[in-house]
């Protein structure tokens, strides 16, 4: 998996650099935490764990001064969300909104951020 990371990340034009914060591969458990610096100097923190076939994830995107922008995760809260446990926190408005998501991947998150950053005018 870590052998594929450079290709996956640098195929994305918005990725400036990345750091592997933690990597635990084994037959029963897989854990990967990354800090990805984007070309606008914002950062995406990823946490993916597969334990006995169950995937838990969090993708937290924040500004260079540590203000949250968005977070996708499947923590088992927000039971009112129709896509429970998959949900999205959007901090771009006050108060934050929590909405539907899906079993999202790192590639999908990077694609979303790329589309957002490349908009002529951002909301």
Domain annotation covers residue 122: no
What pLDDT is attached to residue 120? 81
The angle subtended at Cα 120 by Cα 119 and Cα 122, nearest 5°, is 65
Encode burial over 22-34: b for 16+ CB neighbours within 10 A, e otherwise: eeeeeeeeeebbb
Q: Is residue 26 part of a domain?
A: yes
Per-residue pLDDT of the chain (123 residues; tens, 9 = 90+): 455 566 677 677 899 999 999 999 887 888 999 999 999 999 999 999 999 889 999 999 999 999 999 999 999 999 999 999 999 999 998 899 999 999 999 999 999 999 999 888 765
Residue 123 within a domain: no
Q: Which domain holds residue 39?
A: 5-117
Q: Is residue 39 part of a domain?
A: yes
3-state SS of 18-44 is EEEEEEEECCCEEEEEEEEEECCCCEE
Query: What are the residues whose beta carbons fall under 8 Å from the beta carbon of 49, sequence distance 6 or more?
Result: 29, 30, 31, 32, 55, 56, 57
Task: List, in sequence order, the alpha helices (H) in the chain.
Answer: 5-10, 106-117
Side-chain half-sphere of 13: how many Cα atoms within 13 Å? 5
pLDDT of residue 27: 79
- The answer to whether position 34 is within a domain reads yes
User: Looking at the domain assignment, is residue 94 inside a domain?
Assistant: yes
How much is the pLDDT for 122? 60
Split into its structural domains, the chain has a count of 1
């Amino acid at each position: 998996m870590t052998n594929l990371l450079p290709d996956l990340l640098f195929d994305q034009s918005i990725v400036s650099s990345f750091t592997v914060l933690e990597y635990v591969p084994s037959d029963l458990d897989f854990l990967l935490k990354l800090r990805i610096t984007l070309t606008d100097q914002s950062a995406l923190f990823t946490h993916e764990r597969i334990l006995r076939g169950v995937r838990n994830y969090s993708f937290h995107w924040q500004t260079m001064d540590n203000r949250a922008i968005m977070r996708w995760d499947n923590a088992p809260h927000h039971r009112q969300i129709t896509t429970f446990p998959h949900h999205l926190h959007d901090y771009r408005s006050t108060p934050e909104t929590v909405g539907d998501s899906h079993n999202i991947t790192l590639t999908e998150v990077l694609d979303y951020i790329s589309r957002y950053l490349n908009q002529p005018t951002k909301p």
